[in-house]
Amino acid sequence: MPENTPVALITGSAHRLGARTAQMLHDRGWNLVIHYRSREAQADGLVKAMNHQRQNSAIALQADLSEIADTRLLGHEAAEQWGRLDALVNNASVFYPNPTPEATEDDWDNIMHTNLKAPFFLMQACLPALRESAGSVVNLIDIYSEKPLPEHPLYCASKAGLAALTRSWAKDLAPEVRVNGVSPGAILWPEGDAAVDAGYQSRILDKTPLKRTGTPDDIARTIVFLLTEAPFITGQIISVDGGRSLNM
């Protein structure tokens, strides 16, 4: 028999925004499925801390979201762990520049598979459980889905596609399942190959009315609100960007 405790699956939740959202939901009494691709140590550390707070309240599942078999298995295993699934947060994404003259087919596949194809087929795998629980979905979009970032055409297209899926699902899956999106602005600067210099950061903040970056909590609180306190909201994409989308 399913437990009464609500369960959320959050992709890419071993670190950064996904981990903060997972912890905030866990603090509210939810059970968490922490998805990771390669950050096993971080995922295991987060799960260990959660289970120390509340026994048998979190698990970590590995999946490569560029592989459809992995993606589908992740959805099925998440729903089976506690016999229910109440929320899906499509947080994992790939971000790096790919100017049109230089972009490769591998770039297309990598970005589109992770950012757009995986959320679709993960939703498909999770849908029976979400319908049964009258669950909710939140997709992490981006303010650049509407006003593109130069030299990132594939990333922007993938996020625009996810925004369209969000609205389509909200119509198609109602009334059983609510689907919304959150579009972060300057919250955490990109890491690794996509890292940006101080001058770029300054230019972004100059165009942000609040003149500062947000925090992971700003995003996590919005996701938690949509999942737990917004039963009459569906098909909406909330920009959490300090007003940045006003001055793109």
Provide mean pLDDT across the span 138-151.
Answer: 91
Question: What are the backbone angles phi and psi of residue 81, rounded to the nearest 5°?
Answer: -55, -50
Residue 182's domain comprises: 7-240
In a domain, residue 1? The reply is no
The continuous run of DSSP H or E covering 184 comes out as: strand 178-184
User: What is the spatial distance between Cα 177 and Cα 243, in angstroms, rounded to a whole number?
Assistant: 29
CA distance 218 to 65: 26
In order, the DSSP letters of 94-109 are ------TTT--HHHHH
Whether the model clears a pTM of 0.85, i.e. scores above it, the answer is yes
With a cut of 90, say whether residue 248 has pLDDT above it: no
Token pair 């399913």: residue: 2
The answer to whether residue 111 scores a pLDDT higher than 60 is yes
**40 in a domain, yes or no?**
yes
Q: Is residue 166 part of a domain?
A: yes
Residue 245 falls within a domain, yes or no?
A: no
Smallest Cα–Cα separation from 169: which of 138, 198, 125?
138
Q: What are all long-range contacts of 192-199, with beta carbons under 8 Å and residues at least 24 apart?
A: 193/96, 194/95, 194/96, 194/97
Could you report the per-residue pLDDT of 66-98, keeping only the tens digit for each? 999 999 999 999 999 999 999 999 999 999 999
Q: Is the pLDDT of residue 189 over 70?
A: no
210 or 53: whose pLDDT is higher? 53
Q: Based on the residue annotation, tell me whether 155 is a catalytic residue of this protein.
A: yes
Q: Is residue 153 part of a domain?
A: yes
Residue 195 banded pLDDT, cuts 50, 70, 90: low
Considering its fold, how many domains does the chain have in total? 1
pLDDT of residue 52: 98
Which CATH number do you get for residue 138? 3.40.50.720
